[in-house]
Chain A
Amino acid sequence: EVQLLESGGGLVQPGGSLRLSCAASGFSFSSYAMSWVRQAPGKGLEWVSGISRSAGSTYYADSVKGRFTISRDNSKTTLYLQTNSLRVEDTAVYYCAKDGMDVWGQGTTVTVSS
């Protein structure tokens, strides 16, 4: 079964950091680009970051550029999102998604609050 499973979310104070993980299974992880997408409470979907198959290229939304870092370990079939300097407005459910958006994880919740 093709599956993505996120973890690493939680409650953090403004200025803090979290590392999100997305474990992939059931498909050839190294053959696909991957993305992170988030959804703030009651809001729409926002693409956050993407990474190429070999991790040679990374991409970011302006809202997170310089604060978030996407990476992947193809040997562990895992995608990561290092989130630093977190702001209240980063509060959201964070999803990982396979290239083409045909496979999504169930999401992990990040809450930034003092």
Chain B
Amino acid sequence: AIHMTQSPSSLSASVGDRVTITCRASQDIRNDLGWCQQKPGKAPKLLIYAASSLQSGVPSRFSGSGSGTDFTLTISSLQPEDFATYYCLQDYNYPLTFGGGTKVEIK
């Protein structure tokens, strides 16, 4: 199975900050990577698919980049509603695998 290493596991940031989360795959997954956001008690929500494509309805402050094994999720200007946990997911092959998650907290 492909292992996804996500970092950091948590971070503290202020409203307006630029935030970057990284995900590394244990093998080449082309651009078959997505990013999800999850708030407490809620189902995950897809933000980015195919490494860099913005899901419909997601604010443009979210962006994704990367291919092969190294990927990045960037929030250009953190908003109060962005405090949540973020997960990467590879859908290159089965079994699908998630990163361990990054909890974004208020500084």
Which residue numbers of A lie inside 8 Å of B, CB to CB? 35, 37, 44-47, 50, 59-62, 95, 100-102, 104-107
Q: Could you tell me the distance in whole angstroms from the C-beta of A103 to the nearest C-beta in chain B?
A: 8
Q: Which 4 A-B pairs rank lowest in CB-CB distance, beginning with the nearest?
A: A59-B94, A104-B43, A47-B96, A44-B101
Closest residue of B by beta carbon distance from A49: B95
Closest residue of A by beta carbon distance from B56: A102
| CB-defined A-B contacts under 8 Å, sample of 22 | A44-B87, A44-B98, A44-B99, A45-B87, A45-B98, A45-B101, A47-B89, A47-B95, A47-B97, A59-B95, A60-B95, A62-B95, A95-B44, A100-B34, A100-B49, A101-B36, A101-B46, A101-B89, A102-B49, A104-B44, A104-B45, A105-B43
A44-B87, A59-B94 known; A102-B44 Cβ under 8 A: no
B38 at the interface (CB under 8 A from A): yes
CB proximity to A under 8 Å, residues B67-107: 85, 87, 89, 91, 94-101
Which residue numbers of B lie inside 8 Å of A, CB to CB? 1, 34, 36, 38, 43-46, 49, 55, 85, 87, 89, 91, 94-101
A59 to B97, CA, bound (A): 12
A95-B44, A102-B46 known; A44-B94 Cβ under 8 A: no
Closest residue of B by beta carbon distance from A99: B91
A37 to B87, CA, bound (A): 13
A44 / chain B contacts, CB cutoff of 8 Å: 85, 87, 98-101
Please determine whether B43 and A95 come into contact, CB atoms closer than 8 angstroms: yes
B89 / chain A contacts, CB cutoff of 8 Å: 45, 47, 101
A105 to B42, CA, bound (A): 10
B97 / chain A contacts, CB cutoff of 8 Å: 47
Please determine whether B55 and A102 come into contact, CB atoms closer than 8 angstroms: yes
Q: Could you tell me the distance in whole angstroms from the C-beta of A62 to the nearest C-beta in chain B?
A: 7
Q: Could you tell me the distance in whole angstroms from the C-beta of A104 to the nearest C-beta in chain B?
A: 4
Closest residue of A by beta carbon distance from B100: A44
B96 / chain A contacts, CB cutoff of 8 Å: 35, 47, 50
